[in-house]
Amino acid sequence: MMARFEDGDLDEALRHAIPLGGEGGGGPLVGLRLPAPRGDLAIGAGGGAPSVFPIADGLRARIEAVYRRAADQLVRAERYDEAAFVLAELLGEGEKAVDLLESKRLFARAAEVAEACDLPPERSVRLRFLAGDVDGAVALARRTRSFAEAVDRLTVRDRQAGEGLRALWAVTEAAAGDYGRAVQVLRPLGLKATVGAWIDAVLADAGPEAPAMLALKLATAPDSFAAVRPLLEAILDDDGPVGPARRANLGAALTTELRAQSGNRALHAAGRAVARAVLRDHGALGHEATRTALLANLAHALGGPLRHDLPDLQAVPAREPLHDAEPRVHVVAAADCGTRAVLDAAALPDGRALVALGEAGAALVDRTGKVLTRWEQPADALVLGPKGQRAILVARAGRATARLARVDLVTRRAAHWQDVELARWAPTFDADGWHVATADRVYLIDALADTWRALWSLPLEGGLVDLAVDEGGLGLLLAGDDGASFEAWRFERPGLRLRGRVPLNLGAAAPPLAAARVRPDGEAEVWYAADQRLWREKPTSATSSGALADLVVGGRWTALVRLLEDGRAVALLPAAGASPVATLTLAGARAVSARLDGATCTVCDDRGRVVALDLAHGALLLDVRI
């Protein structure tokens, strides 16, 4: 190899070159691969760090000098790809390889090398955008959540290009249903028409993001106070279970805007009214750290007497958290029912609910059960988007085929999307995408695209038992061919890097396995059954009576759906708890669906009952009949 380099035979020398390693316990290291020539000069084709062995300092220095001379020769010969190969693959200097290609305006190739060298994703996003691969740049930014960093990097070099990527970022957030974030992203560009249209759409719907948008409306259009006053009063007077949370959201948004516009009289008027309402909530509901901090911050932003006259908030006793209180017991009588079966239901942050009614479609209902909007698209299951503003309706169209429709809860429009093969899917999606699985592969699907497009995929090693997703991770539970061996996989989000594979021999236990699920952090939830008893082994032993109908896990909670002689019971347990902290009994039910979304458990059944339970304090957030 050295002879080829020194003789100037660079083509053959590069095919036989040995990558340099780092420093080991015995001194410098050099990479050791099987002594076969490369078929091509692909960067990163080695599949990770090569095997290494120690070498003398002098030999390493000599090899490094030879490589650097070769890189200089290749640059002078305008063979930039090969020069980048030497820098990235042989010298381990990926940053310099990307810098070289970018300096020669080879943006597409530089982006490929940046990804192969596992450089920060925002660099690849910026390079793809400069190369004209706008779709690829946006897809990568979504999957790695690197829009903000990429926009900053791009704006430093090219302000116009940076503003273009910022606009695409805002459109992506709005398409996913996160209008608040979309507005905040776009505001620096001063595009008032687009921002105003998004704000007005959310205010007209009065949905989950209405409080934050109301503050933005007053900040961008102070003369609109009279127009938004009815909505402001509705939020202040909302005596439902989600009223305090809506007022808190409005107070937090007003605090942010007041800090930027202390002289805005409309913001001050709204802020004073909200401060009084939140103080009333504090007296009625007790001390909570978040509410106390909100009042202090809002009073400081408003200034004046309120800043000095705020009472001692710590003196008010707090409501007892659900996990510290006596177990909550809720019973719904058999005669207390609706008129149609509800297959799935999701409580929304503003007190409304989205319900799936099978072939009868889907409906948006308020907290009294009144149908606000009905869609004819069939729905057996619901997939919620960010902030509860978008949803995907899933209807089984065959043994492995699902019919999908997308719903915009702000504009109240729904349309058929795709008919695809699906085995399992996550109950939520976000701007990053939607995690689904077929029999042999798991995908991250672009939930915003018109076509069925995968942003990422991975072949499965065994049958998929369960998948779970949250903001920080993706968990998979796979079963071996023997039916007794399982493996839990954990991926880190964003980026979807595999961080762990834990083997589980669940079939070795004497009692029969009742159900197994996985959490987003890769922790398996396993329940066994015998003699009408259920119990779990990890993380602590917990028991429950009655046969198991379903097992749902989410966040820090577990929901057991048990068979009763006449109905179903849903028991809620903390992930590390030994006994249920709340039980909901639905007399007469034969089919029950439960879902855990954040701090809410929503339960529905075949008798038209929809009940949502607050997992913080055990209060009923929703109790309606369809």
Q: Is the pLDDT of residue 50 over 50?
A: no
Q: Bridge partners of 542? A: 536
pTM for the whole thing?
A: 0.82
Q: What is the predicted pLDDT for the residue at 47?
A: 40
Residue percentage of the chain with pLDDT more than 90? 45
Q: What is the predicted pLDDT for the residue at 33?
A: 45
- For 446-456, the pLDDT digits (tens) are 999 999 999 99
DSSP E strands, 495-547: 497-504, 513-518, 524-530, 533-536, 542-545
pLDDT, mean of residues 324-345: 89
Q: Is the pLDDT of residue 221 over 80?
A: yes
pLDDT, mean of residues 356-377: 94
Q: Is the pLDDT of residue 434 over 90?
A: yes
pLDDT, mean of residues 193-220: 87
Q: Is the pLDDT of residue 197 over 80?
A: yes
Helix 225-236 to helix 243-260 angle, to the nearest 10 degrees? Answer: 140
CA–CA dist 117, 85 (Å, integer): 11
Q: What is the predicted pLDDT for the residue at 48?
A: 41
Q: What is the predicted pLDDT for the residue at 179?
A: 85
- For 553-592, the pLDDT digits (tens) are 988 899 999 998 899 999 998 887 777 888 999 999 999 9
- Of the listed ranges 49-53, 197-201, 617-621, the least confidently predicted one is 49-53
**What are the residues whose beta carbons fall under 8 Å from the beta carbon of 26, sequence distance 6 or more?**
54
- For 436-490, the pLDDT digits (tens) are 999 889 999 999 999 999 999 999 887 899 999 998 899 999 988 776 788 999 9
Q: Is 607 helix (H, G, I), strand (E, B) or coil?
A: coil
Residue percentage of the chain with pLDDT more than 70? 88
Q: Is the pLDDT of residue 45 over 70?
A: no
Supply φ then ψ for residue 454, to 5 degrees.
Answer: -90, 130
Mean pLDDT of the chain: 85
